[in-house]
């Protein structure tokens, strides 16, 4: 395996190339692809039966819009430490609550830890219901289910923290525009990177076969 420094450079160059490509995708195409992805997600059995779902709130440009997907018992990320790349996921209690969230890191809406004067449910806390599905953002995915994030490691750390508490690992679902899906092996991976279980594109749903002996907590 290449050194971490080499992997970091490879990822940085790939991130730059894919981002340049995404910058040329018309907004109308992103909207149309996002709507088709939202429709396809409904066919995933684990999504149909899910209780708690974590879903990112999309940025205005260059990624799958998640507005049509924010249903179920919804948990939304909040950056808690930029320095250490840490985030929590807090429950959203209504559509009005979702719409009223203030802008946080990078202009993305984030929940305040308090709602109506009381602490929101935090997915990392033991008393909170199990997360069944996490919908992940990315710069790109490949057909071997590797994910190229934005380079900060927030989701890798969150998933590791979640499973370290003895919780069953949620189904990891990547949402990918056509322009974000690369061929198998295109994304370099380290031991700290999590593969996703499912990649949903406007055209297909890719499902990863579990490796023999693979744990539900890793």
Q: Which two tokens stand for residue 18?
A: 């894919």
Contact 200, 40 (CB under 8 A): yes
Give strand ranges (E) for 66-187.
73-81, 86-92, 114-115, 118-119, 131-136, 140-142, 147-148, 171-175, 181-182
Q: Residue 108, SS3?
A: coil
Q: Could you tell me which of 187, 130, 204 has the C-alpha nearest to residue 13?
A: 187
Q: Which residues pair with 147 in a beta bridge?
A: 141
Binding site as annotated, residues for ATP: 11-15, 147-155
The rounded distance, in Å, linking the Cα atoms of 12 and 14 is 6
Buried b (16+ CB within 10 A) or exposed e, 119-134: ebbbbbeeebeebbbb
3-class SS of residue 210: coil
- State the binding site: 11-15, 57, 63, 147-155
Residues linked to residue 76 through DSSP beta bridges, in sequence order: 90
User: Residues at the annotated binding site for substrate?
Assistant: 57, 63
Measured on CA atoms in the order 188, 194, 198, 202, is the torsion positive or negative? negative
């Amino acid at each position: 395996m290449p050194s971490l420094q080499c992997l970091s450079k490879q990822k940085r160059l790939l991130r730059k190339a894919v981002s340049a490509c995404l910058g040329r995708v018309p907004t109308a195409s992103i909207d149309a692809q996002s709507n088709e992805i939202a429709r396809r997600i409904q066919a995933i059995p684990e999504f149909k039966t899910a209780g708690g779902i974590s879903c990112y709130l999309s940025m205005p440009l260059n990624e799958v819009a998640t507005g049509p997907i924010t249903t179920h018992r919804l948990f939304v990320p909040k950056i808690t430490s930029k320095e250490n790349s840490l985030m929590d996921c807090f429950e959203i209690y209504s559509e009005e609550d979702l719409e009223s969230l203030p802008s946080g890191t990078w202009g993305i809406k984030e929940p305040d830890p308090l709602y109506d004067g009381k602490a929101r449910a935090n997915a990392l806390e033991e008393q909170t219901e199990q997360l069944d599905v996490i919908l992940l953002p990315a710069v790109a995915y490949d057909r071997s289910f590797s994910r190229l994030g934005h380079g900060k490691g927030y989701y890798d750390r969150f998933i590791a923290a979640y499973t370290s508490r003895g919780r069953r690992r949620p189904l990891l679902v990547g949402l990918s525009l056509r322009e974000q899906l690369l061929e198998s092996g295109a994304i370099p991976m380290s031991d700290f990177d999590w593969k996703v279980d499912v990649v949903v594109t406007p055209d297909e749903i890719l499902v990863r076969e579990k490796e023999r002996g693979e744990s539900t907590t890793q």
